[in-house]
A and B are shown apart, each in its own frame.
Chain A
């Protein structure tokens, strides 16, 4: 069977499973649609959170980022997992006890203000929509690489599949398909990693292989990697970095942003009890860690494999001849994601760091510039080919990449559409809407959201690449502090919360826009986005943590200058702190 046939079989087979699950898990009520009936087991929920959380970025891009910058990229590993500690202790159990359907609903009730709810809805939609564009675009890329259709066609196929299970099943359909998607994506990620770890270190567990001995050289694998890449002018893989303040703030922004992202928070509304919300945060992190502990191993081993492919006889000898390049390099050249230019016309591939510090040695060796350009995103996708694994593993990777993109997209789409149908339509426009009417409204908003996201995925606006800064900055600076104060303070009132959210948001957006351009329109940046220009060396990616501080400070100052929240609100805060009665709370 051809590789194309195998890919079709794996991807088609996984899609068939998702659709069958969707038919089985149809939503009959708004409670089914928004919170999967509130009866999801904590381990099931943990697995669904894992798939919901691990996006195309985690599956495809993260290992590539780590491979490129080594220790410095640990920020992503810690930032995207440490948020679950905050969720488990500061938000999830109490929001579950509150027992409603959406994040803006809690903010609106706790701060007794429709305006607060509206600000929360806007933050939620902007953060989630920017995030979903990346998922849709990622799914389109995976389709075009593995199924040989153009990426718009691929995107439409992906949208139809998501449409079927999310419009039909809402949160219930999404939860159970996410469990299947988690299984697909974790198997797809782990199998090539195990093979590569076996080949390089003899250790079948990649996370342990990372700190084991490299069979060919007898050195620890990280030592070997450091040696090879420093020989051709790159920084040491494990080297410490100078700007620790920025690394701390970037990690913190990713952590509190993770805890504040609504599509993750609403998953904790689906479990039966407060105790289950705590357990499912733990299980979620276990399932996430299975991939996150493997990713750094994949990163370093793939980088080492790439270097030894180019320099088969060591870095002191001449690199490989272009005509002798391996098959996987040829295949990825077709996609344009690997580019070769023979600058010194010697027929060999020189891969090295084109920096002034290495100029003298490059000149001495007759090198006229780095000749190989490898897109970071192909690392995980090309992994099975680099390690010469059989065709079915490639098919599995295709299904896994799509599972990661689709599951995250569906979770985000549900967060957006429930904010529209529950917070805007039922909350503001038509409070008297019937249960049946609201369910229909929820399905229509879901359908409309999918169409908008598909359109934006096919025609990504110029700022799609800046999504990380924007989504995490907004969640960190606006939603997380407001939710936390709503639970841990009885003194913060409506005026304080709104002022805090708006100031945190304005501060964060301003800092991002100054360096990235206003509304990301090219040419409107006030300062070039370089470390020399950053205030105290804080990059725009890291500013959300400071924005959160601004939010806290403003909210407390304004609240203390204005009147206390009414007694019934203080009682509401009391009630979310104690688990008893959570089961009843949800039947509203």
Chain B
């Protein structure tokens, strides 16, 4: 692996894009839905409270799990695609 090849750069950019997208979702469910935007979601009832409360106590955690597995799956595929995996 030479660090300066065209492909290596593309691999790193693809990684950065994936991280950026994931962190937008990460921030949206926790800082957004669960905290700042909670009043906007107040109209959506769920089991005696509102959707914002659900995101604060459960929804964000479930989303975090999904984000990590999605990232791991996509990155492991990118590793192979760009030939930087460890096999």
Using a CB–CB distance below 8 Å, which chain A residues touch chain B?
A: 66, 71, 74, 77-78, 81-82, 84-85, 88-90, 93, 207, 210-212, 219-224, 226, 238, 240, 244, 247-248, 251-252, 273-275, 278-279, 281-282, 285-286, 289, 292-293, 296, 571, 574-575, 577-583
Contact = CB atoms under 8 A, between A and B. Distances in A.
B43 to A, nearest CB: 13
Given A89-B22, A90-B19, A296-B58, A247 B35 contact: yes
B34 to A, nearest CB: 6
A273 B35 CA distance: 37
A566 B34 CA distance: 44
A274 B22 contact: no
23 contacts: A77-B61, A78-B30, A81-B61, A82-B64, A84-B68, A85-B26, A85-B67, A89-B71, A90-B19, A207-B58, A211-B54, A220-B47, A221-B47, A222-B48, A238-B48, A244-B36, A247-B35, A281-B72, A286-B65, A292-B61, A293-B62, A579-B84, A580-B1
A293 B65 CA distance: 12
Contacts, number: 148
A74 B46 CA distance: 17
Interface in B29-87: 30-31, 34-36, 38-39, 42, 46-50, 52-54, 56-58, 60-62, 64-65, 67-69, 71-72, 75-76, 79, 83-86
Nearest to B8: A578
A293 B62 CA distance: 9
Given A85-B22, A296-B58, A282 B3 contact: no
Contacts of B46: 211
Contact of B57 (A93, A210, A279): A210
Interface of B: 1, 3-4, 8, 11-12, 15, 18-19, 22-23, 26, 30-31, 34-36, 38-39, 42, 46-50, 52-54, 56-58, 60-62, 64-65, 67-69, 71-72, 75-76, 79, 83-86
Contacts of A207: 58
Pairs A-B, 6 closest by C-beta atoms: A211-B47, A220-B48, A574-B3, A74-B56, A222-B48, A278-B72
Contacts of A278: 68, 71-72, 75-76
Contacts of A571: 3
A287 to B, nearest CB: 10
B15 to A, nearest CB: 8
A248 B8 CA distance: 36
Contacts of A247: 35
Main secondary structure of the interface of A (DSSP, over half): helix
Given A82-B64, A274-B86, A289-B62, A89 B35 contact: no
A85 B69 contact: no
A71 B57 CA distance: 8
A64 to B, nearest CB: 15
B84 to A, nearest CB: 4
Interface centre among B4, B46, B48, B58 (most CB of A within 10 A): B48
Contacts of B75: 93, 275, 278
B72 A251 contact: no
B61 A579 contact: no
B60 A82 contact: yes
Contacts of B18: 89
Nearest to B11: A578
Given A248-B35, A275-B86, A578-B8, 6 more contacts: A77-B57, A82-B26, A211-B46, A211-B49, A223-B49, A240-B52
A273 B86 contact: yes
Contact of A248 (B31, B52, B60): B31
Nearest to B74: A278
Contacts of A210: 47, 57-58
Contacts of A93: 75
Given A74-B56, A212-B47, A282-B68, A85 B23 contact: yes
Given A77-B56, A211-B48, A222-B48, A285 B3 contact: no
A88 B49 contact: no
A78 B62 contact: no
Contacts of B19: 89-90
B36 A84 contact: no
B69 A282 contact: yes
Nearest to A584: B86
A289 B76 CA distance: 24
Given A78-B61, A221-B48, A281-B68, A251 B35 contact: yes
Contacts of A575: 1, 3
Nearest to A282: B68
Contacts of B30: 78, 82, 251
A221 B48 CA distance: 7
Contacts of A578: 1, 3, 8, 11, 84
Contacts of B60: 77-78, 81-82
Given A247-B35, A275-B86, A293 B48 contact: no
Contact of A275 (B23, B34, B69, B72): B72
Contacts of B79: 274-275, 579
A408 to B, nearest CB: 20
Nearest to B78: A579
Contacts of B68: 84-85, 88-89, 278, 281-282, 285
B3 to A, nearest CB: 3
A578 B50 CA distance: 44
A581 B79 CA distance: 12
